[in-house]
Structure 1
Amino acid sequence: MRTLGAVVVLGLLAGAWGHVTLPFLRLPCDSPEVEEAALVSQDYINSQFTHGYKYALNQIEDVKVYQKADGVETMVLDLELLETKCHILDPTPVANCTVRPRHETKVEADCDVILSRAGGVLSVLSHKCKSEPESAEDMCVGCPLLEPLNHTDALQVVVSSLAEFNHIPDNDTAKFALRDVGRLSSQIVSGGPQFLTEYAIVETNCTVDDDGVCVPLPDPLARTGFCIAKGVPAAVPTVNCTIFDIAVPTLAPVVNATDAVVRPVVLKLKTIYGLKHHHRKSAFHDPTISGWWSESDESQERVAAPIVKRHFQIDPRAVASLPHLPVCPGKVKHF
């Protein structure tokens, strides 16, 4: 690993089980190797969800690198991600997805990610994310306000708009059913609130001419899509749906020095949706190594873990010869 400008320091890791002091390297947050690890983390996190939206890297806030005698490195990243307008089912690469603007109530995710690098291969070992929408107090006057995903009037717009899509001539030969609701918001217009809805749909075994009970086709046979609709419950809403091509799902890539894609290390995953707010989402991955998490972590999901001794080969004399700490956090990519 390129360690130009790295500084050897003593880091105090606070786990739920206590404190342990381990030496680590610090690299500039915007250095190529850290950026590479952050993008691998971004793609891996997105691959773990089947609902909601893709997230894009906004800022690398901190990084620590622990080196073992056998050459294996452990990287602990503190990342800030922003929700994009691409649904998780959308095949569009994250780099081409539009980050949701502030006036639509941006959603920010703070993620801690642990990776290992062995033989030039980056693998995600564990991660946990905590996300929540921007406070309504920070919104502009007249901007759409985020509503809970069980809002009755907004859900009525979802149902009526999907029915409208299924009956639009030449739209498709198959009938689609609601898969999940992504966002519901309201905006005051003349005459009262108008509801803005975003939701995912799935292909059923019915054609548009069938009026019986329709059952969603099983994966991976079913096509999926994403709809944006607006209106009020008592009127015909406007709706626009994009149908995605059937694609075989793939795991998030792991990058090595030769740009080969390697299957990532996948440990016990527990995903929790809807914490305190319908639009919040948290994920906690592999509680058995919670001791690696940073002191600044505010998540309530940390689990006690036993102390594991690790041996490192770092020359303490290097501390005196190296100048100041490298720059972190890194640059803000969006806002």
Structure 2
Amino acid sequence: MLAHLSLVVLCCLQGLLGVPSASPPPPSLLSDSFSVLPLTVTCDEADVTTAARFGVRVIDEKRKHGFKFKLHQVQGSKYQQLSEGNCDIDVDAKLLQTKCHFSNPKPEDHCDVFRQGERGTWATCAIKLSVRGKAAVVTTYECVTKPEPSNKQVSRLRPDFPALLPLNDPTALKAAHKAVRKFNKESQLGHFFDLLEVSHVTIGYMQPVGMITWVMLALVETKCPREATHTFAPCTPLCPHRAQHFFCETFYYNLQDKVGQLDCELYLPKDSSPLPYGQPEPDCGPLFHQSPEFSACKAQLSHPVPSVHNICPFPLKVILPS
């Protein structure tokens, strides 16, 4: 992490010191043509790893914020055999956070995990499955999501590692909004993009520029075309399946109040078919972090950590506004 941080800071110091820098690199395009092997869950207790992987895949499919996870270890299991080929399974598993944002089309098996110095996260999950013949479903899961190691452990054992910041930290939000403005200014795409979420934030000290905040953020395409620069209407996001998404990383120089170069990856929409003539884009409601579902998730989490995107319990008890 420190080597990477030093390299980027030295590269981007040119802009801070008035030396002309190269134009930003174009975003990388990630194809969604990944092969996903089917997982067949059975009532064979020797095949508990497949049941756990199936549970993790369902957790990732239901994610609407943060990063995907992958199975690290099965910590325990209990099988209740009902009849031939029918059973209920309880699995306790440890999951590791990957670097794939939930909007990334990669399956979790193709995703790298955060290294220790990058301040990743793990989760311990209790997953319940129901197997009826050849059909398996996840009925419930509940997870505790935590950074590993914690800021307290890092300050004692590895003070050279950056510290995790809460995702709603004022400096992080300021950096993220500056990054979105920079993105829209430099973009040549047909629509404006809005902040979907702040995904990961760390802070550290680097000579000679002082404190630096490292931000990962997700952007979503809006309905506003680029030529609509003087509209007073809000730029509402396109529906998730019809929107382009970007996942970006950048550095914010706290003392200089400046955002560094954006490094972004593009995820194409799942449905890019044109709408019938005259038909407006559908309205899919608020983003997750402004939704009743997010409020329900926060209320039902047993040990929420503000610096990570906690895995919401399933099923959620969502109270819709009347």
TM-score > 0.5 by shorter chain? yes
Is 1:221 aligned to residue 242 of structure 2? yes
Displacement of 1:173: 2.6
Query: Which SS does the other structure have where 2:239 is aligned?
Result: coil
Q: 1:179 corresponds to which letter in structure 2?
A: L
Q: Which structure carries more helix by proportion?
A: 2
Query: Which SS does the other structure have where 1:46 is aligned?
Result: helix
RMSD: 2.6
Question: Aligned partners of 2:241, 2:102: CA distance in 1, in Å?
Answer: 15
Question: Aligned partners of 1:167, 1:41: CA distance in 2, in Å?
Answer: 41
Counterpart selection for 1:232 from 253, 262, 268: 253
Residue 133 of structure 2 corresponds to 119
Gaps of 5+ in 1: 4-26, 249-267, 289-335
Residue 97 of structure 1 corresponds to 111
Rate the CA distance shift 1:57–1:66 in 2: closer, same or farther, 3 A. same
Corresponding pairs, count: 241
Displacement of 1:97: 0.6
1:181–1:199 CA contact under 8 A, matched in 2: yes
Query: Which SS does the other structure have where 1:284 is aligned?
Result: coil
Rate the CA distance shift 1:245–1:153 in 2: closer, same or farther, 3 A. same
Residue 224 of structure 2 corresponds to 206
Deviations 1:69-99 (A, max 9, x none): 4652111100000111110011011111111
Q: Of the two, which has the highest radius of gyration?
A: 1
Question: Aligned partners of 2:159, 2:62: CA distance in 1, in Å?
Answer: 36
Q: 1:185 corresponds to which letter in structure 2?
A: T
Residue 267 of structure 2 corresponds to 244
Q: Which has the higher contact order (CA 8 A, sep 6+)?
A: 1
Counterpart selection for 2:153 from 133, 138, 163: 138
Question: Aligned partners of 1:157, 1:186: CA distance in 2, in Å?
Answer: 12
1:54–1:83 CA contact under 8 A, matched in 2: yes
Aligned counterparts, 1:157-196, within 5 A: 157-168=175-186, 170=188, 172-190=189-207, 191-196=209-214
1:275–1:282 CA contact under 8 A, matched in 2: no
Question: Aligned partners of 2:259, 2:85: CA distance in 1, in Å?
Answer: 63
Q: Tell me the TM-score normalised to structure 1 length.
A: 0.66
2:164–2:307 CA contact under 8 A, matched in 1: no
Question: Aligned partners of 2:62, 2:54: CA distance in 1, in Å?
Answer: 13
Aligned counterparts, 1:44-63, within 5 A: 44-63=58-77
Displacement of 1:218: 3.1
Q: 1:103 corresponds to which letter in structure 2?
A: G
Gaps of 5+ in 2: 1-41, 272-292, 318-322
**Structure 1 consecutive aligned stretches of length 4 or more whose deviation exceeds 4 Å:** none
2:242–2:270 CA contact under 8 A, matched in 1: no
Rate the CA distance shift 1:227–1:169 in 2: closer, same or farther, 3 A. closer
Q: Percent identity?
A: 25
